[in-house]
Structure 1
Amino acid sequence: MAGKKLFIKHAAEMVTCAGAAPKMGAAMADIGIIPDGALLAENGKISWVGPTAELPVQSEAQWEVIDATGQCVMPGFVDSHTHMVFGGYRAEEFFWRLAGTPYLEILERGGGILNTVQATRSASLAELKAMTLGRLDNMLAMGVTTVEGKSGYGLDKETELRQLAVMDELNREQPVEIVPTFMGAHAVPPEYKGRTDDYVDYIIKEVLPAVVKQGIAEFCDVFCEQGVFSLVQSRRLLEAAQAMGLKAKLHADEIVALGGAELAAELNACSADHLLQASDAGIAALGKAHTVATVLPMTAFCLRESYARARTMINNGAAVALATDYNPGSCFSHSIPLVAALAAIQLKLEPAEIVTALTINGAAAVNRANRVGSLEIGKQADIAILEYPSHLFLVYHAGMNIVDKVIKQGRLVWRKSDQK
């Protein structure tokens, strides 16, 4: 799907976010702005970046030319935490939570994740694929060029493999690059109620080998939380997954300060996600590790919970990523504009830090920092072009989608003018 030759010139800002590893602490503010910037891409990869006045091209005849005068050109967004493959919806539960019913109580009643499990188990591959394709189209329109997708709404071998197969097929059929994560340890299914250790055994002995044999998933994630999977159970599962060749991720310290951030750092996980209740010790551990702290402010917003201490994390040297947590329960939204607004207003991040968190650090959270997340020679030409001249408008035009064009591997795959 790679484009042949792409030529972007006269960008008011060319935001490069250069780097092949997560930007940690104060380095998150360095986004490498080139005024009146230009970029060349050939065969899907960037071959030159710099000021328009220094362009090495004499003739534009052989190139697809985009004049970005008055616009900001930046890396395509990486949404590094979603649960986008699911059946059914849970609109009623959203209002139960607003009325004060705690999430863990909803889960105990057989609602929450288990509600979606029933609908997802009942859906065919074709049905799940059609629903997910529509969601990906909407993500693309917001500038997302890479997205992580988790299984975890099957909690059995057959459905977990089906969710991953949906991602695999869609990865070949549409522009947004999907990073597949196996998350069979998302909840304890009804058939294992009261027998969580037995369910972990089942995942390790029967499901994980089938997932690895299928050859689609890159990561294993676990909901490490009080009343779900303990630290001991999470460690046992993730160490088994790592031994089988999968990389580790954790849903950590979302509801209770259980020590998930510390465990993620100890296991050298690619990311620890949520972190609303992460302790000082957990934040310090992330600041010393290369584990990305993935913060999901829309989930806190939708749950009326306190926000993760992203400012403290950055001040302690951690690499912070921002993601949507798109799912049918606690955050039925994949709005990158809302994530950016909440990050500035509630998390107290600077605009440049928000850009880093949505690009190169998001890429690092899914082990893609050497391929995507920045505009530099050799990287994939995954690009978002904004309607406005500065990255500041991501927050200033609060909650609004200001993406004008999206380019994936050097090919123009979406533009706002085509939607009218």
Structure 2
Amino acid sequence: MNLERPGARRTLWTNATLATLAEGEHAPGGNADWGLVERGAMVVEGEQLRWVGPAAELPDALRADVVEEHDLDGALITPGLIDCHTHLVYGGERSAEFELRLQGATYEEIARAGGGIRSTVAATRLAGEHELHVLAVQRARALMAEGLTTLEVKSGYGLSLAAEAKCLRVARKLGELGLTVRTTYLGAHALPPEFEGRQDEYVDAVCAWLPELKRQGLVDAVDAFCERIAFTPAQTRRVFEAARALGLPVKLHAEQLSDQGGAALAAEFNALSCDHLEWLSESGIAAMKQAGTVAVLLPGAFYFLRETKLPPIQALRDAGVPIALATDHNPGSSPGLSLLLMLNMACTFFRMTPQEALRGMTVNAARALGLHDRGRLVAGQRADFCLWDAAHPRELAYWFGRNPLRQTVVGGVRRMDR
């Protein structure tokens, strides 16, 4: 095996506990759950992990060309955290609606009365691109301070070609912070006021805007909100067909408030993910399993909306559907900006194990974005990882209100977030 690769800078990270999250028999140290390696070491070459394992087993040929060595003094290393579902670019806030819900109004009632997504659309349309960027940077930095290395950002608060493009440009620009940013077109998020009573015409427009947005390089995937207060399965299908015609993968807000059969529809199009899923049926689970679609659970929205219908966690486990976690950061139903709190909420509300939760924000979150080069600490993966002042990875889901992050490394480059 050739251990030499001229031209790439080689660094050694040693004296650490590694939570590799490697799969099955490939897990260094023999722990198939966490993939724990005590007294571990990693060799980073350029932007990639070149070698991962017990420090005592590091090949001499790799050590010889190390140009910089980092003694981590027993720190915990995990893969970098991935937030695979956010609505990070928007104007305004909706604290008044929060108060209304506490007084008894439901999410659906607020939306049907002209509040909800439409109120954020109005604020976002009024905001300039610079203002939106400043706000989005503040939100992204809050997530980065807890180990974020890859971020998905949806549009959906513009609902016109110009405003959707504006939001997607802002999302793309967040990559300048030292993140990987994936952008998702969510034109089918809500009906804008100028299309009142003409929902099918608006779906036509959503589909018609997509080629131009793709031409501008602004779209990595296409999403839709398939729900009673949003778009029907038939309308969602039209959006997905437009995406497929352009070779774009799809995702879906599915089965959040009711069972619309959205998950099965999305699986027909080999969707990367279906998200929310409180009302997901057995047939929907089977379709997702068949298609390899990831289930993205959003405990922040579950908490903030005071939902009582739990996603079918055990059925997803039994079927072998990968489960990812995300913040779903948005101003209406999940205004949280804490990745670590989402880990804790997933364990507390959904009874996920700490290992499932961390895997949901690394390995499976990467799969939900169609990214297979990150999420685990194994040779050949991208060198995105976090250093924590913790003895065991379960502590990341245990603490809330405490941030043990020491440092983040993205593409082999150290990034100071705190």
- TM-score with structure 1 setting the length: 0.92
**2:203 pairs with 200, 209, 212, which one?**
200
What does residue 25 of structure 1 align with?
Answer: none
SS in 2 for 1:346: helix
| In 2: Cα distance, 1:368 partner to 1:59 partner | 29
> Residue 293 of structure 2 is aligned with which of 291, 294, 297?
291
* Distance change >3 Å, CA 351–CA 212, structure 1 → 2: same
Contact 1:341 1:399 in 2 (8 A): no
Aligned ranges 1:242-257 → 2 under 5 Å: 242-257=244-259
What letter is aligned with 2:81?
A: F
Other-structure match for 1:23: none
Distance change (3 Å), C-alpha of 1:29 and 1:401: farther
Alignment partners' CA distance in 1, 2:79 and 2:205 = 41
1:267 corresponds to: 269
315, 321, 343: which one pairs with 2:324? 321
Alignment of 1:36-51 (within 5 A): 36-51=39-54
What value does the CA root-mean-square deviation take over the aligned residues? 1.9
Report the Cα distance in structure 1 between the residues aligned to 2:366 and 2:264, rounded to whole angstroms.
22
- Which residue identity does 1:401 align to in structure 2? N
- Do the aligned partners of 2:276 and 2:297 also contact (CA within 8 Å) in 1? yes
Instruction: Tell me, in whole angstroms, the C-alpha distance in 2 between the residues paired with 1:130 and 1:63.
Output: 38
The aligned counterpart of 1:312 is 315
How far did 1:123 drift? 1.2
Given that 2:152 and 2:184 are in contact with CA atoms closer than 8 Å, whether structure 1 keeps it comes out as yes
Measured in 2, the distance between the counterparts of 1:299 and 1:38 equals 38
62 and 280 in structure 1: CA distance in 2 versus 1, 3 angstrom threshold: closer
Match of 1:127 among 115, 131, 135: 131
State yes or no: 1:68 paired with 2:72.
yes
Match of 2:403 in 1: 401
1:109 aligns with 2:106: no
1:218-257 equivalent positions in 2, closer than 5 A: 218-257=220-259
Q: Relative to structure 1, is the Cα distance of residues 136 and 374 closer, same or farther in structure 2, using a 3 angstrom cutoff?
A: same
Q: Distance in 2 between matches of 1:38 and 1:125?
A: 44
The answer to whether the 8 A contact 1:288-1:318 is kept is no
Structure 1 residues without counterparts, runs of 5 or longer: 20-27
SS at match of 1:404: strand
Tell me the distance in 1 between the aligned counterparts of 2:346 and 2:204: 39
Residues 308, 63 of structure 1: alpha-carbon distance in 2 compared, 3 angstrom cutoff: farther
Q: Deviations over 1:225-269 (max 9, x none)?
A: 013100110011111111112110000000011111111222110
5 Å-filtered alignment, 1:118-197, equals: 118-171=122-175, 173-197=176-200
Kindly provide the amino acid, as one letter, of the partner of residue 382 in structure 2: Q
Q: CA deviation at 1:61?
A: 9.0
Alignment check: 8 A CA contact 1:311 1:349 kept: no
Kindly state the Cα deviation for residue 128 of structure 1 after the two structures are TM-superposed.
1.1
Residue aligning to 2:103: 99
* Structure 1 residue runs of 4 or more that deviate by more than 4 Å after TM superposition: 57-62
Q: What residue number does 1:331 align with?
A: 334
Deviations 1:13-46 (A, max 9, x none): x112236xxxxxxxx9733221211101111111
CA contact (8 A) 2:357 2:397 kept: no
What letter matches 2:151 in structure 1? V
Residue 411 in structure 1 maps to residue 413 in structure 2: yes
CA displacement at 1:60 relative to structure 2: 8.4
Contact 1:29/1:352 (<8 A) preserved:
no
Provide closer, same or farther for how the CA distance between residues 282 and 400 of structure 1 changes in structure 2, counting only shifts above 3 A.
farther
Separation in 2, partners of 1:11, 1:41: 14
Provide the rounded CA distance (Å) in 2 between the counterparts of 1:253 and 1:183. Answer: 17
Mapped partners of 1:334, 1:264: distance in 2: 28
Contact 1:152-1:160 within 8 A present in 2 as well:
yes
Does 2:85 correspond to 1:85? no
Distance 2:137 2:189 in 1: 23
Structure with larger RCO (C-alpha < 8 A, sep 6+)? 1
| Unpaired segments ≥5 residues, structure 2 | 1-7, 24-30
> How big is the shift at 1:153?
0.4
Residue number in structure 1 paired with 2:303: 301
Offset of residue 163 of structure 1: 0.8
Q: After superposition, give the CA deviation of every residue in 1:140-179 in whole Å (9 maximum; x if it has no partner).
A: 11111001000000000001001111122222x2112110
Q: Which residue, out of 366, 370, 374, partners 1:367? A: 370
CA contact (8 A) 1:271 1:291 kept: yes
Distance between the aligned counterparts of 1:4 and 1:169, measured in 2?
27
Aligned position for 1:278: 280
- Identity among equivalent pairs (%): 40
Equivalence for 1:217: 219
Q: CA deviation at 1:283?
A: 2.0
1:58-111 deviation digits (Å, cap 9, x = unpaired): 868953433233322110011000000111111111121222211121111211
The 1-side partners of 2:349 and 2:32 are apart by: 18
Q: Which amino acid is 2:353 matched to?
A: E
Whole-Å separation in 2 of the counterparts to 1:29 and 1:216: 38
Deviates more, 1:394-403 or 1:315-324: 394-403
Q: Partners of 2:73 and 2:285 in 1: how far apart?
A: 42
TM-score (norm 2): 0.92
Look up the equivalent residue of 2:300 and give its one-letter code. M
Aligned residues: 403
Q: Which amino acid aligns with 2:16?
A: A
